[in-house]
Amino acid sequence: MLRWIRQQLGFDPPHQSETRTVYVANRFPQHGHYVPQRFADNRIISSKYTIWNFVPKNLFEQFRRIANFYFLIIFLVQLMIDTPTSPVTSGLPLFFVITVTAIKQGYEDWLRHKADNEVNGAPVFVVRSGSLVQTRSKNIRVGDIVRVAKDETFPADLVLLSSDRADGTCHITTASLDGETNLKTHYSVPETSVCQSVSQLEALQAVVECQQPEADLYRFVGRITVTQNGEEIVRPLGPENLLLRGARLKNTKEIFGVAVYTGMESKMALNYKCKSQKRSAVEKSMNTFLIIYLVILLFEAILSTILKYAWQAEAKWDEPFYNQKTEQERNSSRILKFISDFLAFLVLYNFIIPISLYVTVEMQKFLGSFFIGWDLDLYHEESDQKAQVNTSDLNEELGQVEYVFTDKTGTLTENEMQFRECSVNGIKYREVNGKLVPEGMTDDSPDGSTANLMGEELLFLKAVSLCHTVQISYDQPDCLIGGGDPFSHANGFSSNHMEYYAASPDEKALVEAAKRIGVAFTGSNGETMEIKTFGKFEKYKLLHVLEFDADRRRMSVILQTPSGGKVLFTKGAESAILPFTTSGEIEKTRLHVDEFALKGLRTLVVACRHFSPEDYIDVDKRLIAARTALQQREERLREAFDYIEKDLHLLGATGVEDKLQDKVQETIEALRLAGIKVWVLTGDKHETAVSVSLSCGHFHRTMNILELLQQRSDNECAEQLRRLARRIKEDHVIQHGLVVDGASLSLALREHEKLFMEVCKNCSAVLCCRMAPLQKAKVVRLFKTSPEKPITLAIGDGANDVSMIQEAHVGIGIMGKEGRQAVRNSDYAIARFRFLAKLLLVHGHFYYIRIATLVQYFFYKNVCFITPQFLYQFFCLFSQQTLYDSVYLTLYNICFTSLPILVYSLFEQLVHPHVLQNKPGLYRDISRNSLLSFRTFLYWTLLGFCHAFIFFFGSYILMGEDTTLMGNGQMFGNWTFGTLVFTVMVITVTLKLALETHFWTWMNHFVTWGSIAFYFIFSLFYGGIIWPFLHTQDMYFVFVQLLSSGSAWFAIIIIVITCLFPDVVKKVLYRHLQPTSTQKSQSLPASQAQALSCVESMCCYQHGQSGCSRLARLLEQMTGQCKASANNCQASSRNNRAWSDTENLYTNDRSILTLSPIEATHC
């Protein structure tokens, strides 16, 4: 009963079984008692609030913040007991902060509602009651047959029933789901593919059984049972039969599909992942400082309460003649009176906790994040992509990074593959002018000589042309529409007009290379694949595709040859193919694969297996049984694949080059100079990864490369780690590099984490190869949780990098060719790896110094604000008399001092951006949260207390003995004294920020001097009029009288100078006697900021490309080729001499000397 009630209220999910049964066209069984399953409707909901729950839900979320909750308590205390200040003083700032945040969150949610309504209200066509009916997307139900036309997106997850093609296939792109722009072919089962009209579909009797919804885009297990002539036919369903919501139909006129997952149960909606909230180091420091100030507040309140009762121990002060107690006050409980007094002091001093700090920080982060998107240096013109910010909460964390974990393929490299070499039957070949030329031979044969390739070479090229999932797009995209012959190009339509599309750039490069050599893949219709071998067309029947997966690391196809034989072609990583080969030139090919890898080429091994008729019958049965299984389908398929992909005959191997991105080497060296350690985590094999690491500057040629490879047991791994640790201590080499493979890493992380960490921390560069996606995340987590707790950054471009991007403190996605999953799950996204240098060294530096100063300054100005209030109690017998007027208490943080610090935190630049980029070492000055260290916090806090003492006692010296400061003998009162303190305070804290400002814009001038002017104008206006809605008029004419006194003006000037002069002297002395490297860089003129000398920044390479070098000074001294004058490098003619290993010049590090000719004109 209880479960039924919970289900009716929506607390329990409607489906409890492991599978769901979907009746096509909602034709439910008529016989027996059938209870239909309840499914979600097709509405997409990405919003957080509704019109009914917005206020309570938003308030609940906001009051979970400690500061907001604290001020709510203070406000309630002011309402409940007689406190010295009006409840408005706490209530108004709290209301302002809550309202601003609520408006911001409400507006963002309204935009989400608007987007949801557009999606849910989109028109769609469904088959109902024998006709095609137009309805809205939100009205689609599970079981409805939906029609989708060309270039439309699928409104729900559909199982493909039929298309306008005779074979029932369709092409789609999933760019909005995973960013892959290639065409993918999806299939319908033969029994439904013939139903191409509404009437045929209405008569269709079919039931789909499938798994319950899950987020994995690439996994779908189900089966369809079609009833024809009283006979039930069962067909398996997999990912190739499922059309995902959000994907788009291409090159197909229309399709019909049955909805199986709708609305928030569709795979796209299930991937709306709520990322775990990342908190920056600054936010953690801020919370620590808040707790310290809360302790100071409690201390001041308790001390004031105790001193009050100590003072009232004397009768004359307990009940003076002018303030007699009532009978009720005499008889009241002393404990309750003590608590009441304590709470009153708490309210009086509560402004030491800055409520507006949170809203200012939020505004600073939100507005500041736009600068990254607006930065033209982070804009990639070729792809028309600018940097994007997905999480503004981590801006300052970009300035604190200590470890960078980067993917290799597509991140350091272009992910643009070019076929370079191959090995066939133990002989190495390279491509020259569209021909395969054996190693050592020249291209002097006639044009048609490639056609002489026979036997193994031809079989190898056929395997490359047939074993893939490449799709073809034609210049005339509708050429295949209408059920025409997909091979019509053979009858006059030139195959030169076709373009290959592939999910993997490697596959595309190999198929294109085979086409250039003479074996061209010309088309596939789902059942047949066609190739053109030196002008002769051959058709192969496609029997089975054994899809690629990350565990097997290979993919295969089973084909029927034109002669009727059955053959398996397979390709994959050498570790996934060679152990299963039994014939062919295995050892020679293994050597060639290693040689290709040493050259930095990506390698694939190709093999085949011929089946006898009996073998194939067995294979076919196993595959069909595994594919139709509803339970444990993946395990059964894996077993079937392992059974089939064995006893292979090795055909050869391929070597494909992946070009490095521009300025990768300079970026890695700049990060290294900034004190950031770079780790490369890749799935490539060891030799390929090492070669790329050397070419991109991650490893230097003179580094002592340590290896932790092919460890087979815990003991063996531990012993090797101890050997490496000893070697690091004994070797006095400048730098060490470490290479680890995935298997050894698993052993190292299992029981020897500390030993592994010790070795890694002593290495300046680490390369992890053969890594699984989760291993990448484990490595990042290992460093995140180490005792030092360094700030980590992960950067990658593919779906396999998502786990480490989400795990790191800062995740950066590269807008590459492997989809948009990394970008969607990242905190920041950039188009190229080289942009990382500016993102960290410039934007990270600026964001950190801005928010660090903002936080410290907020606490400083609140100490200045509330300490005079505390001191004043010593002069008013702790009677809880307030020093400032309630309006001043309310507006101090909201109006008088809020804008200058906000503008400062948006525009401040300690150093010119060019200097920060050219001198990466400046990044070290702000590392380890140095600007928010306890020492710096203590300095700002003590400075606040000192200034507060000067404000209070400076004003007291002026007015303490004689309050007749007017020429006519008129006396000043306590409100004038408080206003004098407040005036001095507003001017001082504003000018203090002006002293801290290095980068002045018109906006800084406007808000700095405008805030002071606004205070004076407001005070004259507020005190110059009798306001009818105010209970008291304490401030009437007070400010005008104060300003009419020359002594008051003199006191204001003297007190402000007394406060700020020591600060100016300290800054001057420190800058001249103990300048930091940042302060030295501030003195560079603008001309030098853009054209730094070789010694100060980097050495110069060919074509003006800069590359950082610790040896720049040494090179200048020894070669004289980079002579810097005061403003720029002295021009000299190009010296076209490249340094080599044979030069007798600082042989301990060749990494710089082997790069390129030095050109002094481009420093």
- Residue numbers annotated as active site: 407
DSSP state of 467: S
Going from the C-alpha of 348 to that of each of 8, 551, 880, the distances in angstroms are: 52, 66, 7
What's the CA gap between 753 and 718, in Å, rounded? 10
What's the CA gap between 737 and 733, in Å, rounded? 11
Which residues in 990-1002 are b (16+ Cβ under 10 Å) and which e?
Answer: bbbbbebbeeeee
Q: Structure tokens of 616?
A: 């194939």
Scanning the structure block, which residue is given the tokens 């504003």? 990
Tell me the angle at which helices 1046-1073 and 934-959 cross, rounded to the nearest 10 degrees: 150
Tally Cβ neighbours within 10 Å of residue 480. Answer: 24
Scanning the structure block, which residue is given the tokens 């690391």? 553
What's the CA gap between 73 and 65, in Å, rounded? 13
Tell me the angle at which helices 686-695 and 586-598 cross, rounded to the nearest 10 degrees: 20
Three-state secondary structure string covering 399-439: HCEEEEEECCCCCCEEEEEEEEEEEECCEEEEEECCEEEEC
Residue pair 334/308 in contact by the 8 Å Cβ criterion: no
- According to DSSP, the β-strands at 157-163 and 242-243 are antiparallel
Scanning the structure block, which residue is given the tokens 């860089």? 1081
Q: How many CA atoms lie within 13 A of 245 on its CB side?
A: 29
Q: Bridge-partner residues for 163, per DSSP?
A: 255
What's the CA gap between 800 and 734, in Å, rounded? 34
Cα–Cα nearest to 969, from 1024, 883, 1041: 1041
DSSP symbols for 849-860? HHHHHHHHHHHH
What's the CA gap between 167 and 626, in Å, rounded? 24
366 Cβ contact list (under 8 Å, min separation 6): 104, 392
What's the CA gap between 623 and 627, in Å, rounded? 6
Can you say whether residue 190 is alpha, beta or left, with left for phi > 0 and alpha for psi between -120 and 50 degrees?
Answer: alpha
Sign (positive/negative) of CA torsion 283, 284, 286, 287? positive
Sign (positive/negative) of CA torsion 499, 500, 506, 507? negative
Distance in Å from the first CA to the final CA of the chain: 80
Going from the C-alpha of 282 to that of each of 101, 287, 357, 828, 987, the distances in angstroms are: 20, 9, 13, 18, 28
What's the CA gap between 207 and 26, in Å, rounded? 9
DSSP state of 645: S
Tally Cβ neighbours within 10 Å of residue 970. Answer: 12
Q: Structure tokens of 179?
A: 């960013």
Cα–Cα nearest to 669, from 1097, 1140, 1094, 1084: 1097
Tell me the angle at which helices 898-907 and 1002-1023 cross, rounded to the nearest 10 degrees: 170
Q: Structure tokens of 89?
A: 């003083």
Residue pair 405/779 in contact by the 8 Å Cβ criterion: yes
DSSP symbols for 734-748? S-EEEEEEHHHHHHH
